[in-house]
């Protein structure tokens, strides 16, 4: 069993000058490909169950799937709840065997976000697992606009919430399909100057790979969430598998051709974030 908490993979990353991939899962094929990619690269991986994943598969089932996959590899695997919005949802994930809870109170007033996140962190720590929080709302491509993280508020949030990792809004956007933008490095430096908590970038698919690698090795950003980029790789592989034989109908045969390309894409993501 190589199941790990978020702190158990992020603290070595913080000390060693690298970051860990938080790979967004939607189904069995991608999460298995991610663990195989991590094993092949010899790097830890964070399997993330976000709202879309949980809408498709119940948390108790996801917990068993993540834990089973962790048993199959020798590298650390974190079973992570991504964007939990209620105490009850976080509690259900804990009871389902998750080793990390991310509570998202980023749209709420600062004090309310601190208080609610602190409650989740206290519950997580009492169970021996980790907690991630978010300060500064990270928006969505063609959706709600981001609200950048204020460095002083970030310092207060990190200090008073007791989180093990802190997601920040510094030019990153969820569901971005290109890498034309980039992160606000001046804001990142201002935030990390005021806190020692490992930092997290949501919407990492929209960040140029060169900037991801550079920040992983020169800043306190220890976790990049990557979802859209890998979803696109999945869909490209699926289209190719279907186009190769338009009479094929067996989903097991079709999906068996999709898994290898996802693993290749995931290996590239993890390698770009890993130690130099």
CA 29 to chain CA mean position, Å? 17
Residue 193 burial (CB < 10 Å; 0-12/13-18/19+)? exposed
**Which residues lie across from 165 on neighbouring strands?**
132
Question: What is the distance between the alpha carbons of residues 149 and 249, in angstroms, rounded to a whole number?
Answer: 48
The number of C-alpha atoms within 13 Å of 226 and in the hemisphere containing its C-beta is: 34
* Residues in a beta bridge with 173: none
Distances (CA, A) of 204 to 22, 138, 215: 9, 11, 12
Nearest-5° Cα angle at 189, 230 to 12: 60
Catalytic entry in 30, 82, 104, 164: 82
DSSP string over 34-59:
HHHHHHHHT--EEEEE-HHHHHHS-H
Q: Please name the helix (run of DSSP H) or strand (run of DSSP E) that holds residue 187, with its range, or none.
A: helix 185-192
Distance CA 164, CA 6 (A): 8
82 in catalytic set: yes
Of 124, 214, 230, 113, nearest in space to 167 by CA:
113
Q: E strands along the chain, which residues? A: 3-4, 20-25, 45-49, 77-84, 100-103, 130-135, 165-168, 199-201, 221-226
**Catalytic annotation, residues:** 82
């Amino acid at each position: 069993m190589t199941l790990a908490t978020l702190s158990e993979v992020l603290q070595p990353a913080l000390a060693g000058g690298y970051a860990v991939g938080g790979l967004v899962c939607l189904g069995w094929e991608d999460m298995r490909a991610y663990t195989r990619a991590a094993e092949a690269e010899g790097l830890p991986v964070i399997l993330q169950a976000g709202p879309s994943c949980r809408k498709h598969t119940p948390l108790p089932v996801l917990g068993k799937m993540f834990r089973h996959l962790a048993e199959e590899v020798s590298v650390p695997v974190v079973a992570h709840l991504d964007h939990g919005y209620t105490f009850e949802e976080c509690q259900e994930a804990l009871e389902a065997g998750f080793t990390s809870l991310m509570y998202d109170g980023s749209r709420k007033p600062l004090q309310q976000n601190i208080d609610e996140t602190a409650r989740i962190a206290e519950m997580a720590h009492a169970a021996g697992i980790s907690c991630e929080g978010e300060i500064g709302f990270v928006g969505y491509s063609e959706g709600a606009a981001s609200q950048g993280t204020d460095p002083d508020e970030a310092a207060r949030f990190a200090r008073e919430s007791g989180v093990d990792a802190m997601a920040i809004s510094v030019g990153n956007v969820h569901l971005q399909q290109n890498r034309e933008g980039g992160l606000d490095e001046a804001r990142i430096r201002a935030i990390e100057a005021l806190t020692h908590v490992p930092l997290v970038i949501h919407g990492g698919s929209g960040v140029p790979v060169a900037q991801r690698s550079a920040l992983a090795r020169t800043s306190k950003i220890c976790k990049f969430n990557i979802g859209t980029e890998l979803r696109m790789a999945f869909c490209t592989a699926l289209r190719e598998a279907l186009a190769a034989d338009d009479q094929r109908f067996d989903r097991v045969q079709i999906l068996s051709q999709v898994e290898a390309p996802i693993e290749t894409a995931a290996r590239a993501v993890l390698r770009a974030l890993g130690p130099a």
